Amino acid sequence: MITKEVEIQVKDFTYKVMLVDEDYKYLRNKDEQFENMGLTDVIKQVIYIRNDLKPNRMFQVILHEVTHAYLDAYGFAGSRFTEEGVCTFIEAYGQDIYSLAQYIIRRFTVNEGKQD
C-alpha cells in the first residue's frame, strides 16, 4: 500500500517518490526472499521507500535511491567509478542530492506524531 507520495525533478525526469508498506510488491526481489528498504525504477521513474523505517535510516535510504536516479539521469548508470570519479560525481551533484533528500524526508515526516 502507498501511504505517501511526492514528485521530484532530476534533470529532465520527473520521479514519483512513494512511501510504501514493507511488503509492497516492488520491494521484493524475484525469488521473494529479500525485501529492499528502497528501490529506484528508472524506467517507470518511481522511487519506493519503506514506510516502517526510522527517520535516520529512511533519510539514508532516500539519499541512496535518489543517487540512483541522478546516476541514470546524468548518464552514469552502470558505470564503474574510480575513486576520483566518485569524488567528481559528489562534487558535481552531492549537494543537490542531499537537498532533494531533505525535501523528501520533510514531506514524508511532516505530520508524524500529530493527531488530526
Predicted confidence (pLDDT) per residue in 2-15, tens digit: 889 999 999 999 99
| Residue 34, pLDDT score | 64
Q: How many whole angstroms separate alpha carbon 14 and alpha carbon 16?
A: 7
Look over the chain and give the mean of its residue pLDDT values, rounded to a whole number: 89
* 116, pLDDT greater than 50: no
The whole domain housing 74 covers: 2-109
In a domain, 116, yes or no: no
In a domain, 23, yes or no: yes
Average pLDDT over residues 31-38: 76
DSSP string of 65-98, one letter each residue:
HHHHHHHHHTT-TT----HHHHHHHHHHHHHHHH
In a domain, 27, yes or no: yes
Top pLDDT among 109 and 94 is at 94
In sequence order, the 6+-apart residues with CB closer than 8 A to the CB of 82 are none
What is the count of structural domains for the chain? 1
Helix (H, G, I), strand (E, B) or coil at 60: helix
* 69, pLDDT greater than 80: yes
Q: How many whole angstroms separate alpha carbon 72 and alpha carbon 88?
A: 16
| Residue 114, pLDDT score | 43
In a domain, 115, yes or no: no
| Residue 111, pLDDT score | 65
In sequence order, the 6+-apart residues with CB closer than 8 A to the CB of 99 are none
* Of the candidate ranges 29-43, 47-61, 72-86, 89-103, the one whose mean pLDDT is the lowest: 29-43
